[in-house]
Amino acid sequence: MPEDAEACGRICFEAFRDISAEHSFPTDFPAPDAAVGVVSMLLGHPGFYSVVAESDGQVVASNFLDERSPIAGVGPLTVAPALQDKGVGRALMLDVMRRAEERGAPGVRLLQATYNRRSLSLYVKLGFQVRDVVACMQGTPPDEEVDGYRVRHATDGDADACNALCRRIHGHDRAGELTDALRQGTALVVEHAHRISGYATDLAFFAHAVGESNEDLKALISAAEAFGGSGVLIPMTNPELFRWCLERGLRVTGPLTVMTTGLYSAPQGAYLPSILY
């Protein structure tokens, strides 16, 4: 419930802080208020299913399921450090997977910090498969143009073309997320050869992008004013794009693993995942 935001946010901050420090990586949330803000957003959005675990009447863990689009996205799943390795995270994962099944979601996806061996092991035991490894990257967006590619803010009239493009790349659309981005004014499209060839809901941790080619993604990345949150997620299995980002001064802050269960098709084009999938 919305009134759980403070407790869930504090636990989220502490859980990410501790696991990141254990492996000498920067945490996703610089302060408790940042985590509380994200959790408040999720709890207040009708497109997210939210669940908590309680012990002695106190919230000790939470998990979320993004239900805005056909494929469901999990996270963040966080458990109070003192109660980790006691089956709480597993119980919350089983709950959101049951929810996804009841709603008929053809697949469920998530990203997990690659260095977190406990969450990796849990997700594999629950039936998730590793599909990709991505680098979270931060820095100053390159101020350059990609010849033949024009980036502009998306409008409601672009939605059908963007959703059709996502279906060609991934086999499904992410229309719910795109609708939110259009409402918030963060969505961008890139045009090539007089048509939309790529789009991004934003260039940020909780945003995704697709393009027919790497040139589309380069144009979108170059057009960003800044990278929101912890940064953008660049698939390391796309060596050309990954190298391009490094050559332009973007730095890697940490690796994440893309994991899926249920329906999955290898992307038929270039893409940037969000932290949800």
Q: Phi and psi for 120 in degrees, rounded to 5?
A: -60, -45
Distance CA 275, CA 170 (A): 16
Distance CA 110, CA 117 (A): 15
**66 plus 165 within the same structural domain:** no
Mean pLDDT of the chain: 96
**261 plus 148 within the same structural domain:** yes
**142 plus 98 within the same structural domain:** no
pTM: 0.93
Instruction: State the angle between helix axes of 32-43 and 5-22 in degrees (0 to 180), rounded to the nearest 10.
Output: 130
- Tally of domains within the chain: 2
Mean local confidence (pLDDT), 229-236: 96
- Collect all residues with Cβ–Cβ distance below 8 Å to 220 and sequence separation of at least 6: 151, 188, 190, 198, 199, 200, 203, 209, 211
**39 plus 82 within the same structural domain:** yes
**10 plus 72 within the same structural domain:** yes
pLDDT in tens, 87-128: 999 999 999 999 999 999 999 999 999 999 999 999 999 999
DSSP state of 56: T
**150 plus 260 within the same structural domain:** yes
* pLDDT for 128: 98
Q: Phi and psi for 39 in degrees, rounded to 5?
A: -60, -40
**90 plus 215 within the same structural domain:** no
Judge whether residue 27 has pLDDT over 90. no
Weakest mean pLDDT among 15-29, 30-44, 201-215:
15-29
Question: One-letter amino acid identity for 33?
Answer: D
Q: Which domain holds residue 152?
A: 138-272
187 confidence band (pLDDT: 50, 70, 90): very high
In a domain, 170, yes or no: yes
In a domain, 117, yes or no: no
* pLDDT for 24: 87
In a domain, 113, yes or no: no
Both tokens assigned to 272: 């940037």
Distance CA 17, CA 29 (A): 8
pLDDT in tens, 61-97: 999 999 999 999 999 999 999 999 899 999 999 999 9
In a domain, 163, yes or no: yes
Quickly count: other Cβ atoms within 10 Å of residue 71's Cβ: 24
* CATH number reported for the structural domain that contains residue 210 in this entry: 3.40.630.30
**228 plus 177 within the same structural domain:** yes
Judge whether residue 211 has pLDDT over 90. yes
